[in-house]
Amino acid sequence: MTIKPSSMVTDYLVFVGCIVASFVIPLWGKFRGRRKEATKADYVFATGTVSMGAMMLSIARGTLGVRSFLGYPSELYYRGSAMWEVIYGMMLAYPIVCFIFVPVYYSLGITSVYQYLDMRFKSKLVRCLASFSYVIRSLLNLAVTIFTPCVALKAVIGLPYWASIVGITSISVAFSIMGGLKAAILSDVIQGLTMIGVSLVIIVRGSADIGPSQILNVTYERGRLEFFDMNFDPTLRVTTLSATLGQLFMSLSIFGCQQNFVQRYCSMTSERKVIKTMLANIPIIFVLYSLSWVVGMVIFANYADCDPLSLGYISKFDEIVPFYVEDKFLNFPGLLGLVMATLFNSALTMAMSNLNSLATVTFEDFFGQIPSMKNLKDKQQLRLIKLISVIYGVLIIGVSFLIAMLSGVIESSMLMTSATSGPLLGVFLLAMLVPCANWKGAAAGMIFSHVTTLWITFGHLTVSNNVETLPLSTENCRNDTFSPWITKPASMPYLNTANNSYENGPLLRNGSEDTAGIGPVEFLYSITYMYYAFIGSMSTVIVGVIVSLVTADPKGDMYEEHLLHPLAVKISRFFPGRRRLYASSTRLQNEQNGANATSSSSVTSIANGAEKTATLQGVVDDSGNLRIDVGYIEKLNALKNVSLDVTNEVNKGTRL
């Protein structure tokens, strides 16, 4: 459906202009010299300068990603609304993250969320395994994100995949190096608002063409609106149960264990603000997520009796949105360019944000553990983080070409996320909610889970299943069905609409095949990828608990009590047996209890207006007494007095 470049001069100008604007606006302060990202804290956390509204929209954009604009409309068009029900699990994940994950590690003063695992298990191995899991998942998902707009750009303007991939990645790397987290969040806001506006324009135009009631009637009558499928067959591609349960575990892993989201939480000024932002984001996510599906309804209702894929005008499911925009809006100068720029910039901002987090995790959890790297100055650390971003950009380019071999945006994204989410979530559940878990159990659980999920995933890719689309029609095609500037590529084959099963690779059956006659291994391979995160998480927890109990060492496994969730601590006290020994977890009280500081075991420091707590290491003996070196206590008291003196001078307005 490629159209002549000469007829798209305005669209090209709008396309380039939007990209330049999305690049310049978030960095305007840097260009004018009003603010310079001089420290690692500025680059990584934006030092608490981002508003709550911007953070809400940024989290929403990070949750849905670029797939919401292309993937979900095509999913409804060709496979129906079953995948919409993942919103149940997504919404359930928000309060769980707010009240389970955030309270545990918000005030720990950590740069990488995986530092928490090191503190809890006192194991570099567990920390590195978790970090490596995050790096692999992020690389795979970033490749999907980068590749998504390339489909539309190739379909509409004939831009080769390699040019789009290299262009998006290169700009993302440059943006990441210059901007840091604050620029990423501001860019998320711009792209989020633009995507909402474009979606609304498509909905209004489609409704004006055939009427809102007709859109609802056609999509319902043609089987695109079917909900609450309670079939418990795990080999079905998606049901209500698999959508809810699978997405719940995927979302918990993303919101609670993924660096790019935790960076956003820590950039806020208080834990209460984090919780308020997350809970307020639930209705926003519901609206934005549903908006993409309404776009799919509008497009399907317009092409219900003359499907472009069946006629050969497009070659992939994900091309239906750009085809519709080209068909209906090319006579509106600049709108097609705006849509293409929205896709391009959405991938760009997602990539930039994730590159920032990837580089931070890689430095803190890998390079930062090398003795020669520990004494680097702040600016040297920042330069190394930016260099790591460039290296990851090159890797993403290579992986993006591999993603082109999979069957679609939704399939690719869900498969990548689900297959890599389980072990990561499982080890955090062990750390926060299982008091008996030790580093041996956590490491064994993660390794077992990774091996299991990878085995199932690669086995799944060897099972050749056809993905059945819902019925398509070309019965009422006329010469004027599509706009006159739409031409069918000569190289594209005509597809037979009588057979609605497309060979798009090794995906999942839709229930048309009888699974009773297959062997247990093939049955395991046929399980829907929606359950992979659940399987991975549960296998990590189960194996981790068993190994921890077998290898338990009451003194060697001691850790600070506040690294557990308070609810887990309370519940554990009801279990029979000897009470667990903890390392010192008491903290300095506020100034009212300052006189008793010598018997306390932590020191409180104030940084950027947010309270951060550094815990004193102590040992509890068999009689329950805390043994701390007196000399160390004296040093802590001296440090506290100096901190109070500095604070008093600052309050008086003294210039330091």
Structural domains of the chain, with CATH: 8-409 (1.20.1730.10)
pLDDT of residue 617: 47
H runs (alpha helix) in 26-123: 28-31, 40-45, 52-64, 67-79, 86-96, 102-105, 115-121
d(CA 151, CA 423): 31
pLDDT of residue 635: 62
Residues of the chain with pLDDT under 50: 37, 491-513, 586-617, 619-624, 652, 654-656
Q: Given phi > 0 = left and psi -120 to 50 = alpha, else beta, which region is 620?
A: beta
Cα pseudo-dihedral 457, 460, 461, 464, rounded to 10 = -170
Cα pseudo-dihedral 463, 138, 116, 610, rounded to 10 = -140
* pLDDT digit string, tens, across residues 359-383: 888 888 888 878 877 778 878 888 8
pLDDT of residue 615: 44
Helix (H/G/I), strand (E/B), else coil: 602:
strand
d(CA 307, CA 320): 10
On whether the CB atoms of residues 562 and 106 are closer than 8 A, the answer is no
On whether the CB atoms of residues 355 and 390 are closer than 8 A, the answer is no
pLDDT of residue 590: 37
pLDDT of residue 437: 94
pLDDT of residue 393: 87
pLDDT of residue 249: 94
Two structure tokens written together for 67: 């797939």
On whether the CB atoms of residues 128 and 115 are closer than 8 A, the answer is no
